[in-house]
Amino acid sequence: MKNNLSKKIAMIIVMVLILVPILWLQGGTDVFAATPTFAETKVEIIGEDETYQLDIKDKVEGSTYKWSSSNTKVARVSSKGLVTTVGKGKATIRCIITYPNKKTKTLKCEVTVIIPATKLKINNATEVNGAHIMKIGETYNFNRDIVPANSSDKTYWSLGAGDKLCIEVTNSSSGIVKALKPGKVVLVATAARTATEEDAAKSIVNDAVIIEVVAPSAAVGSVDVVDSTEIRVVFDSPIDERTVIGQNNTLHSNISLIPIKNIKGVYASDPGKLTAQLSADKKTLTITSVNRLEGDYGIHFTDKIMTTDGTPIEDYYKQIRYIDETPPYVAEVRMDESGLIAEIIFNEAIDFSGLKVGGGGILAGSSVTPADPRTVSILNNKNNYVPSEDKKILRINLSNIAYTDFKKPLTVTISGIKDLSGLSPKDYALPVVFVADNTPKPMAKLIT
């Protein structure tokens, strides 16, 4: 009995050893010798419209493959796994493998497209005698153009030759610098993979500009004679009004306007009393003379003129000339806020001593009825025309014209005038047109 039992046990063991491999082989139709994978899971491609073939290792016979890109603006992929670059950036290429047993597996490869710069140019440096000038304490943001425009390269800003203590690069990736002390230094912009010193050292694509740092200063930028009674001065910095305008708005003694001889030995005319007005930004000074300007003048600005931060301007002298060769003309006709006072504005100060007016009425062709005689009388009375203090504007109050003539184009012809140099208008008679509006106007304005 014992022998029979031993024989049975031995037979069972033998059967197990035989059947296990057979069963494993029968069930192994869904088990593959190896798992498919990408040969590379990360790929870097340089340039646009470049191609790269993705390879799959350990393919399973009978499988199908479906390819896709997560960002077709960076890279696209064909049905065979051929990647074509489109633009800079990153894209994930996926391949969905469907096995013969319908099970699937997804492979992923990260593609990075690099578009290197071929040229870089600093585009907003303002060079004077070969250098961009900055004042101590000033901050400036330099910019650059890069080629191609869609380059993936970054820009690294650094200091080159010169006094590196005169400038601080406050942001090496955006070109922001601050002037610290007088001196000269070269600012370098380099195209690189990243805005780091390490990558910039590997690049040969760069541009540079010399920066000169100077102590704070101020100066007269320009002096121009606008017309026969007006001079415009532009400073490069806001000016302390107390150093250019005296009492009662007279021109301060820190500025002098002196008549000088011309080449024929003739002195310029006396400008008379000079008044001054400073613009809201305190950079433009308008000087107005009581008398007309005619001839050559020397204008002098002393270094006692101060900016608003207490910096004296550089002493400045310029010879200016005004020869009036432009005849007077009507530059504009407008109504004041009431709609009842017409303002006839001339291009320069006018001598109205010989003023004549006539031809008043409704503009021809604009109405079937003529102007009321009362309106005509008001328009043709020269005593109704009042010159402005600067002699550049004639004003007439139309509030008393006939009611029927409001909101109609009225006209009058002006003659007999000349500018302060004695020039008459090109056309002796100057017709003007205006419209009086007696519609009630709001008495208050909304403040927001």
Q: 3-class DSSP state for residue 241? A: helix
pLDDT tens for 5-22 read 556 655 665 464 554 444
Tell me how many degrees the CA angle 363-366-370 measures, rounded to the nearest 5: 65
Distance between CA atoms of residues 63 and 78, nearest Å: 17
Helix (H), strand (E) at residue 17: helix 2-27
Residue 8 to residues 12, 17, 22, 23, 101, Cα–Cα distance (Å): 6, 14, 21, 22, 40
Task: Spell out, as residue ranges, where the chain has pLDDT lower than 50.
Answer: 1-2, 14, 16, 19-30
Contact status, residue 59 vs residue 85, Cβ threshold 8 Å: no
For the chain, give the mean pLDDT: 91
Q: 3-class DSSP state for residue 199? A: helix
pLDDT (0 to 100) of residue 1: 47
- Dihedral of the alpha carbons of 212, 216, 219, 221, in degrees to the nearest 10: 50
DSSP state of 193: S
List the structure tokens of 159: 């200091």
Distance between CA atoms of residues 84 and 76, nearest Å: 5
pLDDT tens for 379-400 read 999 999 999 999 999 999 999 9
Strand-strand pairing, 82-85 and 51-53: antiparallel
Distance between CA atoms of residues 307 and 163, nearest Å: 29
Q: 3-class DSSP state for residue 237? A: coil
Helix (H), strand (E) at residue 345: strand 341-346
Q: Is the dihedral of CA 261, 264, 265, 269 positive or negative?
A: negative
Nearest to 294 by CA among 326, 322, 273: 322
pLDDT (0 to 100) of residue 447: 57
Distance between CA atoms of residues 329 and 346, nearest Å: 6
In 328-429, which residue ranges form alpha helices assigned H by DSSP?
Answer: 373-379
pLDDT tens for 191-234 read 999 999 999 999 999 999 999 999 888 899 999 999 889 999 99
Distance between CA atoms of residues 429 and 412, nearest Å: 10
What does pTM read for this prediction? 0.49
**For residue 148, is the peptide bond before it cis, meaning its omega torsion is within 30 degrees of 0?**
yes
Tell me which long-range contacts 20-29 makes (C-beta under 8 A, separation of at least 24).
Answer: 29/101
Domains of the chain: 37-114 (2.60.40.1080), 119-214 (2.60.40.1080), 220-322 (2.60.40.1220), 330-436 (2.60.40.1220)
Helix (H), strand (E) at residue 19: helix 2-27
Using the structure block, give the residue that is written with the tokens 């012809």: 413
Contact status, residue 110 vs residue 90, Cβ threshold 8 Å: yes
pLDDT (0 to 100) of residue 292: 87
Amino acid, single-letter form, for residue 316: Y
Using the structure block, give the residue that is written with the tokens 């001054």: 276
Nearest to 414 by CA among 379, 440, 374, 441: 379
Tell me which long-range contacts 67-70 makes (C-beta under 8 A, separation of at least 24).
Answer: 67/93, 67/94, 67/95, 68/93, 68/94, 68/96, 69/93, 69/94, 70/94
pLDDT (0 to 100) of residue 22: 43
DSSP state of 299: E
Distance between CA atoms of residues 148 and 131, nearest Å: 27
DSSP state of 24: H
pLDDT (0 to 100) of residue 158: 96
pLDDT (0 to 100) of residue 441: 72
pLDDT (0 to 100) of residue 227: 87
Using the structure block, give the residue that is written with the tokens 């790929």: 43
Q: What are phi and psi of 13, to 5 degrees?
A: -60, -45
